[in-house]
Amino acid sequence: MTIPLIDDDQLDELEREFVGRVRGRVLEIGAGDGENFGAFDPGIEWIGLEPDAKRRAELATRAREWRHAAEPLDAVAESIPLPDASVDAVVGTYVLCSVTDPAAALAEIRRVLVPGGRVVFVDHVVAPPGTLKRAVQRVATPFSKRFCHGCHWDRDTERALVEAGFAGGDVRRLRVRSAPFGPVPMLLFDGRAPGG
């Protein structure tokens, strides 16, 4: 099966569509400086989590501009300071590539989600086995981890989500045009936690 090749504008549209699907009390992990605010449904109750102090300060300002009352949480995805089953959905864009321990982060996400709660993730992921792109990712990851906010270019995020018990509803594997090393493999995952 050929993986579709798209450009950055098409990816942006898909990201907005996926993020816009969540409802209720929504936790955004690694919320950065608030780039997803324009994509969220205006009726959500937003909670942001951002460990980087500089980004969190900008996030707090932008959250107020978008009329979200909650102050962003100073925490990492591996240790979410929320009660069990306290959110309806979790969103992460370009986050699972950079968490220190993906299995621990996904276990925490399952813990804070209501049974059957929704997860939406957008991330660049490892290329298929045996490809030149995968070899480039393996070589580049030690550098990307150090210089790109801990980003691992060679993570198999879809496998991690499935192993954590999340069931994909709308799962899209794409390639996004990029230079100089060719298209970047991407995953858009809209799924559910067990139960519900």
* Whole-structure pTM value: 0.90
What is residue 184's predicted lDDT score, i.e. its pLDDT? 82
Write out residues in the chain with pLDDT < 70, as ranges: 1, 126, 131-137, 139-153, 181
**Number of DSSP helices (H) and strands (E) in the chain, helices first:** 5, 7
Look up residue 127 and give its DSSP letter: P
**pLDDT tens digit sequence for 41-66:** 999 999 999 999 999 999 999 999 99
| pLDDT for residue 108 | 98
Other CB atoms within 10 Å distance of the CB of residue 135: 12
| Torsion angles phi and psi, residue 183, rounded to 5 | -55, 145
Three-state SS at 37: coil
Q: What is the DSSP letter of 123?
A: E
Q: What stretches of 20-167 show up as alpha helix (H) in DSSP?
A: 53-65, 102-112, 132-147, 157-163
pLDDT the model gives residue 92: 97
DSSP state of 109: H
